Protein backbone atom coordinates (compact mmCIF):
# COMPACT_ATOMS: atom_id res chain seq x y z
CA UNK A 1 0.00 0.00 0.00
CA UNK A 2 1.05 3.62 -0.46
CA UNK A 3 1.01 6.18 2.37
CA UNK A 4 2.42 9.69 2.61
CA UNK A 5 4.88 10.34 5.43
CA UNK A 6 5.93 13.96 5.99
CA UNK A 7 5.00 14.78 2.42
CA UNK A 8 6.80 11.80 0.84
CA UNK A 9 4.89 8.88 -0.70
CA UNK A 10 6.12 5.51 0.53
CA UNK A 11 5.22 1.92 -0.17
CA UNK A 12 4.68 0.00 3.07
CA UNK A 13 3.32 -3.38 4.13
CA UNK A 14 -0.36 -3.86 4.86
CA UNK A 15 -1.16 -3.86 8.57
CA UNK A 16 1.55 -1.33 9.45
CA UNK A 17 0.90 0.40 12.77
CA UNK A 18 1.88 3.92 13.77
CA UNK A 19 4.24 2.42 16.39
CA UNK A 20 6.06 0.37 13.75
CA UNK A 21 6.22 3.33 11.37
CA UNK A 22 7.92 5.38 14.09
CA UNK A 23 10.57 2.64 14.36
CA UNK A 24 10.90 2.21 10.58
CA UNK A 25 11.32 5.97 10.06
CA UNK A 26 13.92 6.27 12.88
CA UNK A 27 11.92 9.10 14.46
CA UNK A 28 14.08 11.12 16.85
CA UNK A 29 12.93 11.15 20.47
CA UNK A 30 9.83 9.02 19.80
CA UNK A 31 8.68 9.53 23.39
CA UNK A 32 8.03 13.21 22.55
CA UNK A 33 6.54 12.89 19.06
CA UNK A 34 2.93 13.71 18.28
CA UNK A 35 1.44 11.93 15.29
CA UNK A 36 -1.40 12.91 13.00
CA UNK A 37 -3.03 10.58 10.50
CA UNK A 38 -5.16 12.39 7.94
CA UNK A 39 -4.98 15.53 10.13
CA UNK A 40 -6.36 13.72 13.20
CA UNK A 41 -4.21 13.46 16.32
CA UNK A 42 -3.41 9.94 17.52
CA UNK A 43 -3.02 9.58 21.28
CA UNK A 44 0.42 8.35 22.32
CA UNK A 45 -1.09 5.26 23.92
CA UNK A 46 -2.83 4.38 20.66
CA UNK A 47 0.23 4.06 18.43
CA UNK A 48 0.34 0.25 18.69
CA UNK A 49 -3.37 -0.13 17.94
CA UNK A 50 -3.60 2.38 15.08
CA UNK A 51 -3.28 0.52 11.77
CA UNK A 52 -2.51 2.60 8.70
CA UNK A 53 -4.46 2.25 5.46
CA UNK A 54 -3.71 2.87 1.80
CA UNK A 55 -3.72 6.59 1.06
CA UNK A 56 -3.18 7.73 4.67
CA UNK A 57 -1.22 10.93 5.29
CA UNK A 58 1.05 10.76 8.37
CA UNK A 59 2.88 13.66 10.00
CA UNK A 60 5.28 13.65 12.95
CA UNK A 61 5.08 16.81 15.06
CA UNK A 62 7.09 18.17 17.96
CA UNK A 63 5.77 20.92 20.19
CA UNK A 64 8.47 23.22 21.47
CA UNK A 65 8.25 25.45 24.48
CA UNK A 66 10.28 28.45 25.33
CA UNK A 67 10.32 32.19 25.14
CA UNK A 68 9.51 34.71 27.79
Domains of the chain: 2-61 (3.10.20.30)
- Higher-pLDDT residue of 6 and 63 is 6
Please state, in angstroms and rounded to a whole number, the distance separating the CA atoms of residues 56 and 67: 35
Q: The whole model's pTM is what?
A: 0.89
**Is 57 buried (19+), middle (13-18) or exposed (0-12) by CB count in 10 A?**
middle
Q: Could you tell me the pLDDT band of residue 44, with boundaries at 50, 70 and 90?
A: confident
Mean pLDDT of 14-25: 97
Residue 15: predicted pLDDT: 97
Is the model's pLDDT at 63 over the cut of 70?
yes
The angle subtended at Cα 45 by Cα 31 and Cα 53, nearest 5°, is 100
Amino acid sequence: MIITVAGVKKEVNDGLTVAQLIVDENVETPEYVTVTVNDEFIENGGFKETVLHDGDNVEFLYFMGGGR
